[in-house]
Amino acid sequence: MKFTVDEKGYYGRFGGAFIPEMLYPNVEELRANYLQIITDPGYQRDFHKLLRDYAGRPTPLYLAKRLSERHHATIYLKREDLCHTGSHKINNTIGQILLAQRLGKQKIIAETGAGQHGVATATVCALMGMECIVYMGKVDMERQRPNVERMRILGATVVPALSGSMTLKDATNEAMRHWINHPTETHYIIGSVVGPHPYPDMVARFQSIISDEIKRQLVDEIGNPAPDYVFACVGGGSNAAGAFYNFLDDEHVNLVAVEAAGKGLSSGESAATTALGKPGVLHGSKTILMQTDDGQVVEPHSVSAGLDYPGIGPMHAHLFDVGRVHFVSATDDEALKAGIDLSRAEGIIPALESAHAIAALNQFEFESDDVVVINLSGRGDKDLETYIRWGKY
């Protein structure tokens, strides 16, 4: 079984590039050049140097003793929360800004939900001296205010997306519209493994550094590169794609993707795409998305802005389809509780997105010799207000 993208831009029956003709030249320019650029030794040298010296990689693989005791297994946390800017998103934005420079682009646009991708994009734009516009749903701007100001401090312009539900999907629509209107000088840094081919593959490659490091670190820790389980939360799916990437072909490694159930799968306020969605087209690719039977995209809900998205990347749709990745979900309350529990047990306040991955541990019975890796995709600073409002700590 092949899990990576084929030459037509598909993962099984998912993927492709469903874009208006006005975007065809932009996307085609990327498609025709991305592999050659990002596999070039000079590019690779620059990319890895920045990941090390600027982003702070490799991130630690930390043995979480108290968590391990609780779940009767050996549990490691992959500390993406310790990356510069506070999440895995920086891996992708460094990769894409170096690519944009090599394509001769002068301006950068991005969408953001939680603001983590927006901050990571504003950061690399400041670093490279490039103009940066970030689209963010008005609702998200309100619930992730500190990140809005971080982007502004970094010199980016934050534009509120006022259409639809005014969250991540609408910010993505606005970014695409901007790109249609400014086709030549602008590069669009998509923040997850979503969008038209080649974005899902490109972003997955940039994030694959996560599982690359996990393998090497596990050899040092336990003398074996392969864990029994890898857990990651899934919004669009970039941290999960990165954490799973180098384990996809080793079927002994159980891969678990955790979606946001919001207020519960049957509450009508959820973002658990594989549980509630059907195949269709969203943001340029054929994938699984939450929609009405008339094909209208459903407004999702999650307490975590980064998971508040009605779709998943086409690679994940395929991995779900063929059963290679096991999809589960955690509710808002379960995630908040898991976030507080991790804070108390290990002294780490996780991002609410990552807290979903922790919460899902409760749904598994591990063998005592199981080695479990949880991708801790980000830190909780941005979510303090939500934790405070919830108040149960």
Ligand X SMILES: Cc1ncc(COP(=O)(O)O)c(C=O)c1O
CB of 293 to other proteins, least distance (A): 6
377 tagged catalytic: yes
> Quick check: 278 binds other proteins (CB under 8 A)?
yes
Q: Which does 154 bind (CB under 5 to 8 A by kind): ligand X, other proteins, none?
A: none
- In whole angstroms, what is the distance from residue 335 CA to residue 354 CA? 8
Nearest distance, CB of residue 88 and other proteins, angstroms? 26
Asked whether 130 and 108 are in contact (CB, 8 A), the reply is: yes
Phi and psi torsions of 74, nearest 5°: -95, 110
* CA contacts within 13 A on the Cβ side of 209: 28
In whole angstroms, give the CA distance from residue 374 to residue 292: 33
d(CA 134, CA 311): 20
Q: Is the dihedral of CA 135, 16, 313, 299 positive or negative?
A: positive
Beta carbon nearer to ligand X, 30 or 240 = 240
Q: Considering only CA atoms, which of 221, 130, 183 is closest in space to residue 20?
A: 183
Q: Is 7 in the site for other proteins (CB under 8 A)?
A: no
**Residue from the set 351, 359, 360, 372 that interacts with ligand X by CB under 6 A:** 351
Our finding on whether 378 is near ligand X (CB under 6 A) is: yes
- Segment lying near other proteins (by CB under 8 A), choices 10-18, 230-238, 301-309, 350-358: 10-18
Binding residues among 304-343 for ligand X as defined by CB under 6 A: 306-307
Interface segment toward ligand X; rule CB under 6 A; list 58-66, 100-108, 114-122, 133-141: 114-122
Are residues 338 and 330 in contact, defined by beta-carbon separation less than 8 angstroms? yes
Go through 277-309 and write b for each residue having 16 or more CB atoms within 10 A of its CB, e for each that does not. Answer: beebbbbbbbbbbbbeeeeebbbbbbbbbbbbb
Q: Please give the structure tokens belonging to residue 8.
A: 């037509």
The answer to whether 29 is a known catalytic residue is no
When the beta carbons of 346 and 370 are compared against ligand X, the nearer one is 346
C-alpha to C-alpha distance for 357 and 228, rounded to whole angstroms = 16
Q: Is 89 among the catalytic positions?
A: yes
268: how many CB neighbours lie within 10 A of its CB? Answer: 12
Site for other proteins in 291-310 (CB under 8 A): 291, 293-297
Q: Which of residues 166-225 bind ligand X (CB under 6 A)?
A: 192
Site for other proteins (CB under 8 A): which residue of 5, 11, 17, 68?
Answer: 17
Instruction: Tell me whether residue 42 or residue 183 sits nearer to other proteins (CB atom).
Output: 183
Of the residues 89, 169, 337, 382, only one is catalytic, namely: 89
294 binds, among other proteins, ligand X, none (CB under 5 to 8 A by kind): other proteins
Neighbours of 31 (CB within 10 A): 18
- Among 208, 213, 377, 382, the one annotated catalytic: 377
Contact between 10 and other proteins per CB under 8 A: no
Give the interface with other proteins as residue ranges (CB under 8 A). Answer: 8, 16-22, 24-25, 163-164, 169-170, 173, 176-177, 180-184, 278-284, 291, 293-297
Give the interface with ligand X as residue ranges (CB under 6 A). Answer: 87, 113-114, 116-117, 192, 233-240, 306-307, 351, 353-354, 377-378
